Amino acid sequence: MASNKMNASTSNAPKSALFQPLEIGGLTLPNRIVMAPLTRARAGVERMANEMMAEYYTQRASAGLIISEATVVSEQGIGWPQSPGIYNDEMAERWKIVVDSVHEAGGRIFLQLWHTGRASHSDFHDGDLPVAPSAIAIEGDGVHTPSGKKPYEVPRALETNELPGIVEDYRKAAERAKSAGFDGVEIHSANGYLLDEFLQSKSNHREDQYGGSIENRYRLLGEVVDAVTSVWPNDRVGVRLAPNGSFNDMGSPDYIEQFTYVARQLDQYGLAYLHVMDGTGFGFHELGPAMTLADFRKVFSGTLMGNVGYTRESAEEEIVDGAADLIAFGRPYISNPDLVERFENGWPLADAADMSVWYSHDAEGYTDFPTYQAESKQHESCGAK
């Protein structure tokens, strides 16, 4: 347990870079610590946000910004058991429970928009194959389905005339996110899901205007960004990229050229931020040097967010050096609902949550992690007996 002396000296120290406010899109973030999107599978088989999810996010409302778990924009986009959706009006209404609770606690929250693409299974789609830019299966140990883990299937390649409908799904999801009261949205174009699959030459072997060249592979993401920014102000929309990632069997030989081009295109929008998974702890394709925030800073002039494997110290360094404006933390937020306060006061982090409870579908390993102060009071109470 941290001593009172340490707490006092820490509180009198100058505010570190992590705790300087930042404005995006007229929102004032009180600190640079972002809660990263974390799939937690608590939305039930009906894929509706609920009171338990509201409690979970509200416990973490001291983050400068919360990015919600990935939320599917259509039934076709489903690829994870009990993940939430935003593809009908009832879903939007249920998300209000979460958003209102976070706002009442003084927090800010963006909704992450998701289509899983080939990282899905026919079990989610009444026997229909998952869709992708090309009929190329993920090589891996299998996909979690409602009836257990199963081998990946060869997906169905999307027809060119289907793509405007997918873009429209994102636009409608953005509208519903707005009606639910979210502060903004993040477009998930990372980690081997549909938009990332289109970006990367490894998974996109198309011969139409959505494949073949770096420019063509970017086309679908560009159309989605155009659609979403027709609903939201540009500076309330973020985009997430994973240039170094191997998750879902990704990693393309021309990754540097592809993601440099993508960042240049996105720089023209004046987005809320570009969220780059610049770390390698989530899987690294090892096809060359890892792309860094400094690489993106050369071609993207807006707000940059780093993610994957950061500590309080390394996050501080990136912000002080000017490489990043925000740093997102994922796994530490599972067992540390008060991560901001722990960082600010120099309190130790809780032990990492066991992976067995990450997706347990109930409150265990979800809303039952105490804050440092609550834990300290419990220890003091036990000591007094």
Residue 9 pLDDT greater than 50, yes or no: no
Q: How far is CA 106 from its chain centroid? A: 21
Whether residue 330 has pLDDT greater than 60: yes
Q: Which pLDDT score, from 0 to 100, does residue 221 have?
A: 99
pLDDT at 364 over 60: yes
pLDDT value of position 289: 97
Has 261 been annotated as catalytic? no
Please determine, for residue 217, whether its predicted confidence score (pLDDT) is greater than 60: yes
Whether residue 156 contacts residue 130, with contact meaning beta carbons closer than 8 Å, is answered with yes
Mean per-residue pLDDT, 153-161: 98
Q: What is the pLDDT of residue 3?
A: 34
Q: What is the pLDDT of residues 284-301, one digit of tens each?
A: 999 999 999 999 999 999
pLDDT (0 to 100) of residue 379: 59
Options 193, 210, 218, 333, the catalytic residue: 193
pLDDT surpasses 80 at 375:
no
